[in-house]
Amino acid sequence: MLTALVLLLNFIGVAIAVYQVYDIYYEQNVGDEERQRAEGDVAGERGVAATIEALRQDRMDPRLLQAVTEHPNPADFLQPLRRRRQRLVFDGHLKARHLSFWSSSLPRRDMRLVLLNVVLINCLLVLFLGGLSLYTIAYEVPGATLAWMNNEVVLMVLIYALVALTHLVAWLDRYLHDLYQINRLMTSSSVIAR
């Protein structure tokens, strides 16, 4: 009975990992664009102006707000600015404050493809471990160094550790991409000194 429960949990972990690939790919390719389209359909330019005014009331740096208003597509940057407004600081030039003691320049390269590859590799590893948990019902992996592969509970722990790692990578992807978008705004503007 315990083996059947562990195998069920392994199957659920595999399903979660496959869904994570879909979710992260969707977020990378459609996420903000869909939200921008919805905002544009509902509120149009008044919605953009209202969002900029809300950012102004949140005491966002006026140079950054001016850069947004002067950009031909300000809606591209509103979601990242809204999400990361508390992390942005000017210290000679625009930086991101990740922790109270740690700040850095904004990323200059988009890391989305690299992080998506990490997610895909994690998913493949989860699929392998899920298949291995089924394989070890009938067969045993030989060798003392590979004995852990015969234990369904160990495989389950590894599956859920990879699912948790993928969740962390997805969060990091959203965070870094927002900062990358804000850096794109900076480099396209003459308002903000670099």
Q: pLDDT tens digit string along 70-97? A: 888 888 888 888 888 888 888 778 888 8
Separation CA 150–CA 152 (nearest Å):
6
The whole-number average pLDDT for the span 148-176 is 94
Helices 75-84, 152-187: inter-axial angle, 10-degree rounding = 120
pLDDT band, residue 53 (cuts 50/70/90): confident
DSSP letter at 190? S
For residues 120 and 173, the answer to whether their CB atoms sit within 8 Å is no
Separation CA 88–CA 144 (nearest Å):
52
pLDDT at 44: 57
pLDDT tens for 106-139 read 999 999 999 999 999 999 999 999 999 989 888 8
